[in-house]
Copies of this chain bind each other. A is one copy, B any other.
Amino acid sequence: MARPERKTVRDVRKGNRGMLLRTLYFGGPRSRHELTGLTGLSAATISTMTGDLLSEKILMEAGQVESDGGRPRVLLRVNPGYAHVIGVDVAETHVRVELFDLEMTEKARVDYTLRPSHHDIELVARRILAGIDVVLADGQVTAEQVLGVGIGVPGIVERGADTLIHAKTFGWDGVPLGALMRAGTSLPVFIDNGAKTMGQAELWFGAGRGADHAVIVLIGSGVGATVVADGLAVRGTSNSAGEWGHTKIEMSGRLCRCGSRGCLEAYIGAEGLLARAGVPAQTTDWPSALGRVLEAGGDVVQETVTYLGTGLANLINMLNPERILIGGWAGLMIGERHLDEIRVVVGENSLTQPYNATSIVLGELGPDAVAMGAATLVLEEFLDTSAPLRLHAAS
């Protein structure tokens, strides 16, 4: 049972301020008057609060709107230049560092190629730190103007006193990326699984906008999912919820790379799918190989649709989301060609009531949203606390 924290009058302010900020962030420019309706706060409170936020330069004015026969409304908006956030995508083949302003407009980016099986954690950490310096220089932003760094990594991210990462494919077994980052930068660091950061990006800025209950599935060579309940990502007790790929969907099915049998990933993951279609294991350009397989069609593709639809149907029955997003490079390729068939399979395999409450759509942000989603972790913290800048410099 989650016990609530002790609250004091100042928490009221913090909460209301965060709500106002979120309203303005997602609800476009608004006048103070409109904000009273949108937030439920009194005009007096809106006035003092916007006054604070304006003088802190978190908000800015954004023109006027004449109202017939009265004082014109002054529009307010979040100041996109108030601060910046950095997002990092650590993938099998590259490390990408991106700089965004508060509105998630990309200001600079840098890519580092990783040689396969050269995933030494120290090397990766050095790349990230170097990348931060590069994007700051390219974007002409100082570290003081940055709220923090979000990092999306593969594998399981164990959040404790020290953030530890377990990623079999990288040979990472409890590597302390958090500590390594803190040793190299004073910026606040947020680390999470890459599939989850991508889910976060879709939820905030992509096809998941506004959904309180959603599942974002990510199909690449592996398969994962982000479960959103009541507007928040479900993390589970050790932050490893969302391992959808190794759901058994066939009791004595195909051998999966995890060593088990009948995993969903062995059927719909790109690796398993290509193997089933007879694509040679040494193929390197998986996306084009997958494209050819999908164009050719046939039983393997039909089966894939069936397995994917059935897997999604299971999610709908269990979690009753209002929206399901299909993402990841392979997921998008399959979805673009077969979304309608997938919907049919889902309908056949889920209960009527929850099925009718769900819409199944493709992700909007493409496979590159991992870094953006990671940066979103920082943004989320900012919108919740609206912590003043340079707090991190002090600590």
Residue in A5, A7, A250, A358 whose Cβ sees the most chain B Cβ within 10 Å? A7
A40 at the interface (CB under 8 A from B): yes
| Interface locus among A62-70, A77-85, A225-233, A284-292 | A225-233
Number of copies: 2
Main secondary structure of the interface of A (DSSP, over half): loop
Is A238 in contact with B354, judged by CB distance below 8 angstroms? yes
Interface string of A36-47 (1 = CB under 8 A from B): 000111000000
Q: Which B residues are in CB contact (< 8 Å) with A250?
A: 250-251
Per the bound structure, the CA–CA distance linking A40 and B209 in Å amounts to 37
Is B40 in contact with A241, judged by CB distance below 8 angstroms? no
Is B354 in contact with A248, judged by CB distance below 8 angstroms? no
With both chains docked as a complex, state the minimum distance between the C-beta of A38 and any C-beta of chain B, in angstroms.
9
A317 at the interface (CB under 8 A from B): yes
A12 at the interface (CB under 8 A from B): yes
Per the bound structure, the CA–CA distance linking A247 and B310 in Å amounts to 9
With both chains docked as a complex, state the minimum distance between the C-beta of A34 and any C-beta of chain B, in angstroms.
15
With both chains docked as a complex, state the minimum distance between the C-beta of A347 and any C-beta of chain B, in angstroms.
11
A313 at the interface (CB under 8 A from B): yes
Q: Which B residues are in CB contact (< 8 Å) with A166?
A: 353
A12 touches which of B8, B209, B229 (Cβ 8 Å):
B8
Per the bound structure, the CA–CA distance linking A241 and B249 in Å amounts to 20
Is A16 in contact with B12, judged by CB distance below 8 angstroms? no
A241 touches which of B4, B8, B318 (Cβ 8 Å):
B318
A16 touches which of B7, B210, B227, B348 (Cβ 8 Å):
B7
User: What is the number of residues of chain A that contact chain B, defined by CB distance less than 8 Å?
Assistant: 75
With both chains docked as a complex, state the minimum distance between the C-beta of A217 and any C-beta of chain B, in angstroms.
11
With both chains docked as a complex, state the minimum distance between the C-beta of A20 and any C-beta of chain B, in angstroms.
10
A32 at the interface (CB under 8 A from B): no
| Interface locus among A53-61, A104-112, A319-327 | A319-327
Per the bound structure, the CA–CA distance linking A232 and B213 in Å amounts to 14
Is B19 in contact with A320, judged by CB distance below 8 angstroms? no
A348 touches which of B211, B260, B348 (Cβ 8 Å):
B260
Q: Which B residues are in CB contact (< 8 Å) with A240?
A: 320, 351, 353-354, 357
Per the bound structure, the CA–CA distance linking A357 and B240 in Å amounts to 10
Q: Find residues 238-283 in chain A having any chain B CB closer than 8 Å to their own CB.
A: 238-244, 246-251, 258, 260
Q: Which B residues are in CB contact (< 8 Å) with A313?
A: 248
Per the bound structure, the CA–CA distance linking A175 and B192 in Å amounts to 45
Q: Find residues 1-49 in chain A having any chain B CB closer than 8 Å to their own CB.
A: 1-9, 11-12, 15-16, 18-19, 22-23, 26, 39-41
Can you list 25 A-B contacts with CB-CB less than 8 angstroms, sorted by A residue number? A1-B203, A1-B211, A3-B19, A3-B22, A4-B19, A5-B19, A6-B19, A7-B12, A213-B237, A236-B357, A237-B320, A238-B353, A243-B320, A244-B318, A247-B314, A247-B317, A247-B318, A248-B249, A248-B310, A248-B314, A249-B249, A250-B251, A251-B306, A251-B307, A251-B310
Which A residues form the contact surface with B (CB < 8 A)?
A: 1-9, 11-12, 15-16, 18-19, 22-23, 26, 39-41, 156, 158, 166, 203-204, 209-213, 225, 227, 229-232, 234-244, 246-251, 258, 260, 306-307, 310, 313-314, 317-322, 348-351, 353-354, 357-358
